[in-house]
A and B are shown apart, each in its own frame.
Chain A
Amino acid sequence: MRIGVGIPTTTPGATGRLVVDWAQRADEGPFTSIGVLDRIVYHSYDPLTALAAAAAVTERVRLVSMVVIGPLRNTILLAKQAASVDAISGGRLTLGLSIGARHDDYEAVGVDPGDRGVRLTEQLGAIRDAWEDRSVGPDVAGDGPRLLVGGASGEAFLRMARYANGYVHGGGPPRAFAAAAARARAAWVEAERPGEPELWGQAYFHLGGGDAGAAYLRDYYAFTGAFADRIAAGNLTSPAAIKDLVRGYADAGCDELVLFPTTSDPDELRRLAEVVG
């Protein structure tokens, strides 16, 4: 299993300099990818803009969105932005897409969340077409960026199996990932896709001590109500907890696990590298 690291684009006090420096330092290893999250109504950076900046200062790591909320965006613009990041990075983009869970993001951009699942399904087909017929944007390399789809419903797995290269999980203990991975594979088999879906996992960590990471997670996930406590409780705050989770995800067949910081402390990257390196 490969291990990536998230860029602090959503954590409190993350400066533009931190985002760029973090990406550059992550490129030195041991990480194989750098990931970004997406949220509109929050003090956070736009995921594809952040990945474009990261692309400019990295040479090696894969750039992955976990995820971009597709239906919030105009499909052709999204296809063009993704193609641009892919071209700037020399074909290193993996585009994870999902429908998101927050109605305030939909309200803010004026999109009806009612049919967001159907819209995402249509977007996936349209993005593939746009990349292939080269009507917009820089030419993509090969088949274009790898596509991942996230979500926990049967429809999400179906969508993933129909259009994507793999599945991106939303986080949780290894057994939750294993259950989702088994469903992703079943949907893949049912869709008669050849080979296997790529399976991506994600988790949060905070190694610097104190409660800042948990406090951020409670705030970031406040929209989930009581569930936010559970997400905060799952934050990995010790090397042993990270190693346990890494082992659990590897056993569950995860291809790449991306660990996201929960504070803007630049030393977190070094601490994580020492644990997983």
Chain B
Amino acid sequence: MKVGIVGGGPAGLYLAALLKDADPSHEITVVERNPPDATFGWGVVFSEETLSELRDADYPTYLAFEEHLVRWNSLDIQYRGEVIRSHGHGFSAISRKVLLSLLQQRCRELGVELRFHEELDGLDRFAGCDLVVGADGVNSTVRARHARDLRPALHRHPTRYAWFGTDLVFDAFTFIFRETAHGLFQVHAYPFDGATSTFIVETTEATWQKAGLDGMTEQESLAFCEELFADHLVGHELLSNRSLWTSFVTVRNRSWHVGKVVLVGDSAATAHFSIGSGTKLAMEGAVALAKAFQAHPGDLGAAFAVYELERQPAVERFQQAALDSAGYFETVSRYLGFAPEQFAFNLLTRSGRVTHLELTRRDPALVNRVDRWFAGVGGVPAPVPALVPLELGGLAVPNRVVLGEAGRGAGLVVSELVAVSEHARLTPESAGLYDDHWQRHWAQLADQSHEAGERVAVRLGHAGRRGATRPSRLARDWPLPPTDAWGLLAPTAAPYTPRSQAPRAMTGQDEADVLEDFAAAARRAAAAGVDVLLVDCSDGYLLHSFLSPLTNPASDRTRYPLEVFRAVREAWPADRPLGVRLAATDWLPGGLQPDDAVAFAATLAAEGCALVDVAAAGVVPRGASDYRRGYLVPFADRLRNEAGVATIAGGRVTTLDEVSTIVAAGRADLVRLDTGPYYSSS
């Protein structure tokens, strides 16, 4: 087979070596536009798993690497003058320059033709090849040439980073957080040989500009950073190699192959540097592609299919973790008030791959310290964070788990929508709190829960234009037959679906009546012994449809929901927590955005709101989450740490370990555990 490889980075060289080693009759040419010793960046990181994969794939290369690897298993977090060291994180690193020269050497030994200083104008040079490989990096020209078939999607991250080196040899993977008058800077640093470390400085675009870095030369930038991190560099210097203040680009492609062309390495997929996996992904990709050719010699279609089937799911998982990690660093300044224990735990669990349990396995001492801090206890073994009581506006909630069902040991049982009047109901079977019968019903439920040690929250609301539908056994939002239906209210007369009953646009009198219904129901809830009241502003029910621009053309969209909140507050005992259930986003352009929710939550917090139960979408019958694990957690995190209010997170959280991870990391205070289908599934 004649093979032309565009790009002499780790992916291209390693693939060339693997293919040639498997079948010496292959004629392989690697074309690289830079000289053999040119390299950008300093060191690269591998995990133990990657190394064992490289060992299996090509032992001589692995042996050559091994001599030059630096290994360590600690991770330091330098935050507010304190260093928190975490153990049990096995990493290895190697100089990128050494890595490339070893791969070049291996290629030459095997008889791969390496051509440097060659710009490839088009792919004509490889026209006679049986296989053309685009290993030409994040800005791949091969990918651009075939964009119509490969369908690349590029995401440019909103931070700036400079990839420096330093002659300070760190003894751990080190994160440094440095607050300045311009904003926060953070460093990702790790050693990669006996004399040098990688030292990546990252900051937001805004801070970068405020600090004047956009107008500085390379030398000035270097001097700026040396001065900024003088305490940490302790007399050592920073080294630059032209990799300065770029924005990371996450590359995805729907397909990695078209015809006889295939992508490998950064041209196919990148993962943000904060999880240190770019080179690892590239080389693992080369291994998978080489294996696919061994399994299907002479059948490009089959080999490409196997390569993608094998590799794409793994890469997507890594990219998601990398995006979560990058997102953490983009917004890390919101956590600057955290205690060091919580700050460290939050950082270590940022990508979703490390949970409380996994970190316990790696570093029991640190987790014990975090747990003791979280529980506020001294030297005795502390409970896992999920089981630590929460002090909520004077109420002791016995643990961090929220369920919709009583009697199963939740800290807080939160009801479904409870209607403030008969006409506020969702369906004829909906619960209410508008007469003595319902008051007795809730008093009984509250008693039962209290006996079981649980606290009870009622989600008080008005179904708005989603009301008067059938019970959801067969469908949601299926209107009742007109003979059984009651009239609906909403900010405007637009129906929820084309088949739904049109609501009446609320008049001033309607607003006053519903306000009084809320207040009366709140008094009944108090009398029934309910512990927490949540005013419902979610799921497209009445108050959510006031808040969303998709359903309320008025400019002061928070006016009425705020009036209702105040009226309920007046009716509700001052010594019991009052909260809201709030849509944090409509998941739609032009809809309610997280920024709006943060602003409203901050207003509510100032008005005495003690808890936000975080929801999303529903205001129109479109707008959907991706329903990934914990999909509401990022919103709970934002609301909690930007609006300064306790939150309930949820959205496909199914294990107590996740609950512990979320609350100990300070992303939420309580977590709704989805049980039912997950637990009963065969």
Contacts and interface: CB of A to CB of B under 8 A. Distances in A.
Contacts of B617: 158
A114 interface: no
A253 B627 contact: no
A196 interface: yes
Interface string B283-312: 000000000000000000110111011000
Interface residues of A, number: 46
Given A225-B149, A226-B304, A233-B306, A125 B626 contact: no
Nearest to B622: A155
A225 B678 CA distance: 36
A165 interface: yes
B677 A189 contact: yes
A189 B477 CA distance: 15
Interface string A150-172: 00011101100111110000000
A232 interface: yes
A176 to B, nearest CB: 8
Interface in B613-630: 617, 621-629
Contacts of B257: 226
A185 B499 contact: no
Interface in B376-430: 416
Contacts of B232: none
Contacts of B674: 185-186, 189
Given A153-B624, A226-B149, A193 B301 contact: no
Contacts of A226: 149, 255, 257-258, 304
Given A162-B475, A193-B472, A253-B682, A233 B498 contact: no
B478 to A, nearest CB: 6
A122 interface: yes
A128 B480 CA distance: 12
A175 interface: yes
B199 interface: no
A241 B31 CA distance: 41
Interface in B462-482: 472-478
B499 A191 contact: no
Chain B interface residue number, banded = 35 or more
Contact of B624 (A154, A230, A234): A154
A233 B309 contact: yes
A253 B654 CA distance: 15
Interface string A179-210: 00011011111111110110000000000000
B560 interface: no
Contacts of A101: none
A157 B474 CA distance: 15
B369 interface: no
B627 A125 contact: no
Contacts of B313: 175-176
A186 to B, nearest CB: 4
Choose among A125, A162, A175, A190 the residue with the greatest number of B CB atoms under 10 Å from its CB: A190
Contacts of B308: 230
A223 interface: no
B497 interface: yes
B309 A225 contact: no
A153 B622 CA distance: 12
B631 interface: yes
Contacts of A128: 474-475, 478
Contacts of A225: 149, 255, 258
Contact of A154 (B473, B625, B676): B625
A164 B466 CA distance: 18
B587 interface: yes
A268 interface: no
Given A122-B497, A154-B587, A230-B308, A192 B476 contact: yes
Interface of B: 149, 255, 257-258, 301-302, 304-306, 308-309, 313, 416, 472-478, 497-499, 587, 617, 621-629, 631, 651-652, 674, 676-678, 680-682
Given A161-B476, A185-B678, A226-B149, 4 more contacts: A122-B498, A154-B587, A164-B475, A233-B302
29 contacts: A121-B497, A121-B622, A122-B499, A125-B498, A126-B499, A128-B474, A155-B622, A158-B621, A158-B624, A162-B475, A162-B621, A165-B474, A173-B309, A175-B313, A182-B678, A183-B626, A183-B627, A183-B628, A185-B674, A187-B624, A187-B627, A190-B625, A191-B476, A192-B472, A194-B472, A196-B680, A225-B258, A226-B255, A226-B257
The 7 A-B pairs with the shortest beta carbon distances in the complex, nearest first, are A154-B624, A233-B305, A183-B627, A229-B305, A158-B624, A186-B627, A253-B681
